């Protein structure tokens, strides 16, 4: 069966769904090919369910802080409302009917199956051959990467997909990987009474973050009773009903094992060689208009510009404009924000100090600690955090910032404006910061930079 349309979108993650809807609304005929659930990883297995978990775990943590502030509290964690919210409110039982209807309401048509480029302008999904007159858009996302650890394959370990759908919190859990996925889950389950050990191969948790930020998180997790192992190489995994994880120095044992060691792509399966792309690469290189090859655009995690939903949707807007022949600003990732929703949140924008040093001649940094701010004093328990600013001293602008703290993900918005708008530090330091807020902790760090 051969179908000819204007655009074929392979993978209907947040970016694919968005680009398909934009093009459909603009009057193009669009087929979306999806092998699992329309909407992708984010609403069913990632951002949304994990943040529902985080919200619940944060409520427990706040309740446990009552004795230091306001009397007494008795906290009895119960996972069932969390499981029910994820199952019934967020994912409707991991069913994408609503998303399919949303897509079809834009005029698009869904083909269920694994799409593969079989020739320029041609995608094959099962028996169906789809011809794209104007564009193929690739949004395949990523799959959990499972490291080749002796004994791991074949054991009933969890990835994020199993971890978001649990109906009961295990008594004990080993988390492999101290990145955003691993840490969000680790803290959530620990706050629900699970005995958690987090194992990170690199010397710090959140290896891509500022070391000062990682230190705050490491201290916080340890204070909450999690066991944290960094610089730890896992040699072997054994499962005999319980998991036994052998590292260099010890054997860890737990009821469950969560593998959160990063993500992988499979460009060979996507058939990218048919349009001249390197199928052995990890990511699809795109230009500032998301063009990957003649007649082919790519958006989302697969482009390697930050595995975030906001990146995928940002790119989809640019790709859609380009496919429609409309002018739009080219992709600019200088002010890319990220938030890891641990408590405290770790929010970043732009470059870390070490990245800036690699890119700029003169880098200056300043740190302001939240407990030293008036708001931090008032907040008392749960006030761990900091603001770190990274400046290009030559140009007198911020090129990056990190905020760790309660609502760090909200505070970073102000600094994202500064990095995005290249607002001179001299101008930023003339701002009025409301008293007594957490974001006011930006001011002393700015003053330090302005005085230098």
Ligand X SMILES: Cc1cc2nc3c(=O)[nH]c(=O)nc-3n(C[C@H](O)[C@H](O)[C@H](O)COP(=O)(O)OP(=O)(O)OC[C@H]3O[C@@H](n4cnc5c(N)ncnc54)[C@H](O)[C@@H]3O)c2cc1C
In the complex, the smallest distance separating the C-beta of residue 405 from ligand X, rounded to whole angstroms, is: 17
Q: Which of 86, 176, 274, 293 binds ligand NAD (CB under 6 A)?
A: 176
Asked whether 260 and 181 are in contact (CB, 8 A), the reply is: yes
Cβ of 294: how many Cβ atoms within 10 Å?
A: 9
Q: Where along the sequence are the contacts to ligand X (CB under 6 A)?
A: 10-15, 33-37, 40-42, 46-47, 50-51, 114-115, 139-142, 160, 181, 270, 300-302, 307-310, 312, 341
Which option in ligand NAD, ligand X, none does residue 175 bind, with CB closer than 5 to 8 A by kind? Answer: none
Number of H helices, E strands in the chain: 16, 22
Place of tokens 């940094």: 365
Q: Phi and psi of 67, rounded to 5°?
A: -55, -30
178 lies in the site for ligand NAD, by CB under 6 A: yes
Which option in ligand NAD, ligand X, none does residue 271 bind, with CB closer than 5 to 8 A by kind? Answer: none
Please give the residue whose beta carbon sits closest to ligand NAD in the complex. Answer: 179
Q: Where do the DSSP E strands lie in 113-178?
A: 115-119, 122-125, 128-138, 143-144, 172-176
Nearer to ligand NAD, 164 or 321 (CB): 164
Q: How many residues sit in the footprint of ligand NAD (CB under 6 A)?
A: 25
Of 324-383, binders to ligand NAD (CB under 6 A) are: 338-341
10 Å CB burial of residue 199 (0-12, 13-18, 19+) is: buried
Q: Whole-angstrom Cα distance, residue 192 to residue 208? A: 27
Q: What is the DSSP letter of 87?
A: I
Q: Which of 65, 202, 238, 360 binds ligand NAD (CB under 6 A)?
A: 202
Which option in ligand NAD, ligand X, none does residue 371 bind, with CB closer than 5 to 8 A by kind? Answer: none
Q: Phi and psi of 144, rounded to 5°?
A: -60, 135
The β-bridge relationship of strands 143-144 and 243-247 is: unpaired
- What pairs with residue 34 in β-bridges? 112
Nearer to ligand NAD, 79 or 185 (CB): 185
In the complex, the smallest distance separating the C-beta of residue 41 from ligand X, rounded to whole angstroms, is: 4
207 lies in the site for ligand NAD, by CB under 6 A: yes
Nearer to ligand X, 7 or 33 (CB): 33
The two three-digit tokens of residue 277, written as one number: 């792309």
Residues lying near ligand NAD in the complex (CB under 6 A) are found at 147, 176-182, 184, 199-202, 207, 234, 260-263, 307-308, 338-341
């Amino acid at each position: 069966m051969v179908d000819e349309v204007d655009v074929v979108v392979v993978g209907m993650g947040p970016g694919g769904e968005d680009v398909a809807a934009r093009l459909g609304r603009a009057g193009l005929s669009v087929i979306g090919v999806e092998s699992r659930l329309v909407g992708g990883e984010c609403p069913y297995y990632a951002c949304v369910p994990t943040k529902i978990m985080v919200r619940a775990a944060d409520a427990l943590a706040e309740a446990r802080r009552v004795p230091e502030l306001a009397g007494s509290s008795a906290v009895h964690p119960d996972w069932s409302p969390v499981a029910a919210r994820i199952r019934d409110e967020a994912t409707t039982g991991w069913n994408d009917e609503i998303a399919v209807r949303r897509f079809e309401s834009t005029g698009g048509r869904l083909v269920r199956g694994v799409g593969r480029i079989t020739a320029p302008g041609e995608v094959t999904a099962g028996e169906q051959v789809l011809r794209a007159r104007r564009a193929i858009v690739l949004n395949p996302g990523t799959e959990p990467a499972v490291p080749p650890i002796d004994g791991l394959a074949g054991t009933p370990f969890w990835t994020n997909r199993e971890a978001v759908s649990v109906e009961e919190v295990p008594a004990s859990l080993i988390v492999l990987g101290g990145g955003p996925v691993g840490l969000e889950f680790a803290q959530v389950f620990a706050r629900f009474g699970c005995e958690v050990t987090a194992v990170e191969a690199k010397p710090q948790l959140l290896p891509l973050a500022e070391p000062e930020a990682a230190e705050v998180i490491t201290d916080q997790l340890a204070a909450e009773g999690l066991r944290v192992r960094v610089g730890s190489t896992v040699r072997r995994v054994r499962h005999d009903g319980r998991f036994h994880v052998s590292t260099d120095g010890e054997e860890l044992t737990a009821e469950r094992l969560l593998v959160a060691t990063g993500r992988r792509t499979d460009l060979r399966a996507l058939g990218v060689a048919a349009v001249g792309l390197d199928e052995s690469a990890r990511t699809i290189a795109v230009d500032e208009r998301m063009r990957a090859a003649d007649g082919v655009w790519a958006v989302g995690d697969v482009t390697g510009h930050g595995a975030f939903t906001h990146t995928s949707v940002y790119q989809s807007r640019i790709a859609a404009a380009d496919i429609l022949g409309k002018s739009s600003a080219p992709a600019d990732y200088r002010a890319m924000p990220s938030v890891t929703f641990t408590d405290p949140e770790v929010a970043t924008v732009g470059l870390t100090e070490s990245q800036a040093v690699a890119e700029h001649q003169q880098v200056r940094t300043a740190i302001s600690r939240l407990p030293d701010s008036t708001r931090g004093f008032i907040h008392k328990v749960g006030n761990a955090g900091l603001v770190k600013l990274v400046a290009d001293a030559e140009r007198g602008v911020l090129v990056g910032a990190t905020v760790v703290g309660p609502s760090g993900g909200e505070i970073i918005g102000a600094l994202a404006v500064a990095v995005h708008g290249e607002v001179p530090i001299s101008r930023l330091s003339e701002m009025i910061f409301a008293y007594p807020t957490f974001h006011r902790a930006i001011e002393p760090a700015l003053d330090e930079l302005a005085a230098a």
